[in-house]
Every structure is written in C-alpha cells, then in structure tokens.
Structure 1
Amino acid sequence: MDTYIYEIIAKQLSSISTSEEDAILQEWREASPENEAAYAKSVQIWQDAPRSLSLSGSKRFDTAAAWNKVDQVLQQPATPAKTIRMSVVKLAAAAVLLISLSVGAWWIASRPSLKVQELAANDGKIRSIELADKSVITLRPGARIKYSEGTERVVTLEGEAFFEVATDPRHPFLVKTPNQSVVEVLGTSFTVKTADAHTTVIVSSGKVKLGMENDTSSVILTSGQKGTWGDGQLSAVSNDNPNFMAWKTGILQFNDQSLVEILPQLADFYGKVIRIEDGYQATAAQQKATISFQDQSCDEVLHELQLLLGFNYKQEGDTIVIGK
C-alpha cells in the first residue's frame, strides 16, 4: 500500500485524522476489494498489538515485541478460503504499520500542539514569508495571516495577500477568511482579498476552488478569473482589472479608461478617499486616458492626470475632491 494511506489509517485509528483524510481513505477502500481487505488486516494488526505498544498503554515502546507480533501473523497457516492473500510488499508494509501506529501515532497524539505563527504587515510595508513547504505568501500592507508549521497547509487571512503555492496533490492548501469562506488549491498563484463580509479571489495561474466552510457549494476558478463570496452569493467572472497586482508591483496601467473608472483604482492603491463633485460626474465619465504610472506618489499621479484631462482637485480633510 501507499505509505500515505498507512499514515491516514494510523491517524484514523488514533482518532486524530481530519475529515479530508477520512474521505481520502474511504475513497481508497471503495476502489477495490483488495484495498478493503488490506484495510481490515491493518485494523486487525492494530487491535492485536501488545499493550506496551498501544496508545492507551504506557509510554514504553517494545520494538522487538512489535516485530514478533508481525512474525506471528506471517507464520499463521494459510487457508485459501479464509486467508487474505497479501504480497510480500504488503506484509512488509504491515510491519511498518504496526510500529508506526504504536510509536509514531502516540508521538503525534501526545506531543504539544504546534505553535500557531502570526505575521502582519502593519508597518505600511509589504511583507513576504516562505512556508516550510516552499509556498510563498506576500502580504499587502495591513494584512495579517496565521499558520502552523505542521504538515497541514492551512492559512487564516485578514486583508489581502498574494499566494504562490507549492504543488502537493496529497495536501491541499487552504486559505480561510473571517467570513467563513475557504480557498482550496493544489498549486497555483492567486490573490485573496477580505473586506467587510466579502472575499475576492483573482487567479494568476493554475486553478482554485472558492466556497464556504462546511458547505458543498463552490466555484472553480482558473487563470484570469475572479471569484467573489459574500452576502450569501458566490460568483465567478473574468477579471477585468489589470491593476489587481499593482500593490505588489508598484505599476498602475490604464487603457482608454474614464476618470470615473480610474479614480476608484487610485483610491484603492493609495488608501485614499477620492470623490468626484456631483456637477462633474458626467464630464468625468467622458474623460478617458491611456497612461501608466510606476512608483509615483498620489499627488504626482493626480497632477499628471490633471494636465492630461483638465480637471482640478483639492484636499478637504481626509478626502480628495475632483471637480471643474
């Protein structure tokens, strides 16, 4: 059997497996009668293990007794009608299973829980971290993540971050958000943004699944798509915002876009409140520009747009007001 399956069996028999692992094991058992027979044999070996090797017993580990127990199983006379035919490889794996269940599983169950780590970009600067599995997470200023250093790849996110996830088909990467949505991915790059009660995911490459925790409803997003979850609504559309990564790259690009379309993106990028005067709304909707900016201040960008389009702007408290 695949060593990974043995690991799941060990965790399930120790009552420490996850629901995802239980589902994987169930699918494997139902795949063939041989798999189900091998599972039954594994359970039997676990149940027959001597007390000194069980999780409920003492903390002594008698390896010799473990191998003797496996030897007893191998030496039993075979009766074709009743004996499960196992290959030499499976019998050897059963020996590994017995020892790993009695020693390794106790260690997993009894060790102190892995410390939850936290990283925040709360100094106005972008922060990046490489996890143990080589996945890289880049946090937008104001964002915060929590994660553990175990084998389970689960991250809790507040704010916005860019994920470059290392491929590991056996261990899906999960991003959980405050509004109970979950992003599941095997290996890809994407952004996740949480704001109020909404979660927005934009996929740069690969494929991810966006849904609500403990809910079967979900959408599959591929490269170039944007998914949104909030207010009980789940949607997937093509991403029409070329600046969704501007906070990371420092580059803003506008192609024949109106001032009405440009200003909200500037407000998001610079963290400003920008308002168009009511009497200037119709004119702003007609003023269009094709222009790009890189690593420039908000005032510099507005000044260039002012020269190009002919509007005026002023500061009123914390708000930038655009008008004639």
Structure 2
Amino acid sequence: MEHFKITEVELWEYISKSADASTIQKVEKWMDSSDFDETLFIEISTIHNHTSEQNPSVENAKQRFFDSVKPKRAIWKSMLKYAAVLVAIIAGTYFYNTVFSNNQIVVQTTYGEQRSIKLPDGSKIRLNALTRLSYDVDTPRTLFLEGEAFFEVAKDTVHPFTVTTPDHIKVTALGTSFNVRAYIDSPTTETKLLTGKVEVTSETQFKETFVMIPDDEVIFYKSTKEVVTSKMNLNTSRIAWKEGKIQFENKTFSDIAVDLKAQFGRQIRFENKDIAATKFTGSFKTTTPIDEIFEILTISKDFTYELNQETNEWIIQ
C-alpha cells in the first residue's frame, strides 16, 4: 500500500490555493488515502480562514472551506461532520479577538507573499514574506512584528510609533521610514533607517539606547546579546526585498536560509555546521529557483544539496 506524508507547508499552499500542480495532486492523493489526517486539515483550514480577512464571516469561512477542499466523493461524508467543528472554532476565535483582545488586528503573509497596508493614522507598511503584524485598533501606532516589514510613518509628535519584536527589541519613531527584520528563527534582529530618526531599545536584552540617523543599521545578535551598529552599504539595495531581490552581504548560510525559507516555503536543514556558519555575499531575483541559488553559492564554498521529497526540506551537506 502506498503511503503519503504531507507537510504543513504543502497543506497551507493547497488550502490557500497557492500550490503548484504537483503539490495539489500530492495533497489530493493524501486526502484519498488511509494516511489522511482530518484533524490537521481542520486546524490548517481554520488558521487560513481566520487570517485571510480581518473581519471573518462564519458563513463565508464555511463556504471557503468546502470550496477549497474539493474532496473525493468517498470521503465527502466524513468531512461534513467537521464543518460544524470548523465553524465553531472560527466563531469562537473571532469572538475572542473582537471582545477579549480589545479588537486586535492581525495581518500576515505566507511563503513568497508580500502585502501592503495603510494604518488609520496614514502610516504605510509593506510586509515581506512569512510575516505577522498585529496591533490594537485603539492604538494603531503600537505594533508587534514577527518577520520583516518596511514602515513609512506618518508624523505625529504626540503619539510615538513603536514596533516591538519577539525578542523584546523596540523601535520608536515619530515620522520616518525604516525596515525591521525579526524572524523568530533568525540569529539576528535588524533595523535599517532610511529617513528621519529612530531609537532602538530593549527592557531585557541590553541597557543602551541606540539613536539612529539615515543609513544606519543596528543588528542584535540573539545568542551573544551583542549589538552592532554600522552604516549601510550604499552600493547595494538597502531594502532589497521591496525590489524583488534576495540580497545578503557577509551573512551566514544559516541566516540566509531564513530568507530562502520565507520566499520558497521549504525548510533548509544543515547536516554540516561548518557550512551553516559559512558567510556569503550575493544578490538574486526572487524569481530565481532556489536550486540555482544553491548552485551559485557552491562556487565559493563546496557543499552538496538535495530536496527530500518526503519531508519537503532541502538538505545541505
């Protein structure tokens, strides 16, 4: 009997209708097999339906669920009983977000996706791939960021604009434009300032206050708690991802892998720590296939790579 193993990434792509033909075929074969995990399917569907719009409608979510699934007739009846569970979960989550969380707004992107939003105060934000931004509707200038985003802040001298990251780094601005990169699995948190002035502080990680002026870059290294300040390289794109590029300068392969995962939707696992710690400099279009990026990197450092189809991850040796 043939067995199927589906990753959460593939399932998310299928439910969000961003999967390629081979992934669609793989997921549907899995759904029609004895390996089908209905609980996992419900969980991923619920997350997608709830985060795909700011004011989710239970009925719309229910309809989107059935429209996106398109299950085989043999398992259609078994899926019906989960619809009520799905609607209950969505309704309960919506109630929690609108009442108990004081109208918290959450905006997020998936693999390879970018999204632009405008806050009530006129500030503009562009989210990079695999990013989650949240704020309370009553305090839209106080935000929490997990991932990467570019901010163009509307000036307001009375209400400072703050962005807090998962590792408790706070970036405070009045009227300015800056970029924050704060992926959880990245070894660093980075702030780049284009215009205006910002302060970088933390109540738990360091005592200093770093005041940034245009073209400054502040990098916090999570493992050592070290903060490094420098000037951006003006010969390269300062905010490359906004221009459709994956760009890195003297970065470790393990940190580059965070950006590659966000763009291409596959985990990268290093079986050689020396390769993971190797530093590279390069610039690629986001349309460049990931295996081509790997191949070019092998020119400066010899390593091998392969895609594990079962686990849907790249193995670097």
RMSD: 4.2
Q: Does 1:118 align with 2:106?
A: yes
Q: Which of 275, 290, 306 in structure 2 is aligned with 1:315?
A: 306
TM-score by length of 2: 0.50
Q: Distance in 2 between matches of 1:231 and 1:321?
A: 23
Q: Which of 195, 215, 219 in structure 2 is aligned with 1:224?
A: 215
Cα distance, 1:160–1:290 mapped onto 2, change above 3 Å = closer
Aligned to 2:124: 136
Secondary structure of the structure 2 residue equivalent to 1:132: coil
Q: Does the 8 A contact of 1:243 with 1:252 survive in 2?
A: no
Q: Which of 121, 131, 135 in structure 2 is aligned with 1:147?
A: 135
Matches within 5 A, 1:1-324: 115-122=103-110, 124-150=112-138, 153-194=141-182, 195=184, 199-213=189-203, 217-229=208-220, 230=222, 233=225, 235-239=227-231, 242=236, 245-252=239-246, 261=251, 263-264=253-254, 266-271=256-261, 272-273=267-268, 275=270, 292-293=284-285, 295-305=287-297, 311=302, 313-315=304-306, 317=308, 318-321=313-316
Cα distance, 1:248–1:291 mapped onto 2, change above 3 Å = closer
Q: How much identity, in percent, do the aligned residues show?
A: 28
Q: How many residues align?
A: 203
Q: Amino acid of the residue matched to residue 135 of structure 1? A: S
Q: Distance in 2 between matches of 1:289 and 1:198?
A: 17
Q: Does the 8 A contact of 2:121 with 2:140 survive in 1?
A: no
- Greater RCO between the two (CA within 8 Å, min separation 6)? 2
Cα distance, 1:126–1:187 mapped onto 2, change above 3 Å = same
C-alpha deviation, 1:292, in angstroms? 4.9
Bigger mean CA offset, 224-233 vs 291-300: 224-233
Q: Amino acid of the residue matched to residue 168 of structure 1? A: D
TM-score by length of 1: 0.49
Give unmatched runs, 5+ long, in structure 1.
1-111
Give unmatched runs, 5+ long, in structure 2.
1-99, 262-266
Q: Does the 8 A contact of 1:227 with 1:234 survive in 2?
A: no
Cα distance, 1:314–1:174 mapped onto 2, change above 3 Å = closer
Q: Distance in 2 between matches of 1:183 and 1:152?
A: 15
Q: Does the 8 A contact of 2:253 with 2:275 survive in 1?
A: no
Q: Amino acid of the residue matched to residue 198 of structure 2? A: V
Secondary structure of the structure 1 residue equivalent to 2:170: strand
Aligned to 2:71: none
Q: Does the 8 A contact of 1:156 with 1:175 survive in 2?
A: yes
C-alpha deviation, 1:168, in angstroms? 1.9
Q: Amino acid of the residue matched to residue 143 of structure 1? A: T
Cα distance, 1:206–1:123 mapped onto 2, change above 3 Å = same
Q: Amino acid of the residue matched to residue 268 of structure 1? A: V
Secondary structure of the structure 2 residue equivalent to 1:159: strand
- Structure (1 or 2) with the larger CA radius of gyration: 1
Q: Distance in 1 between matches of 2:166 and 2:281?
A: 37
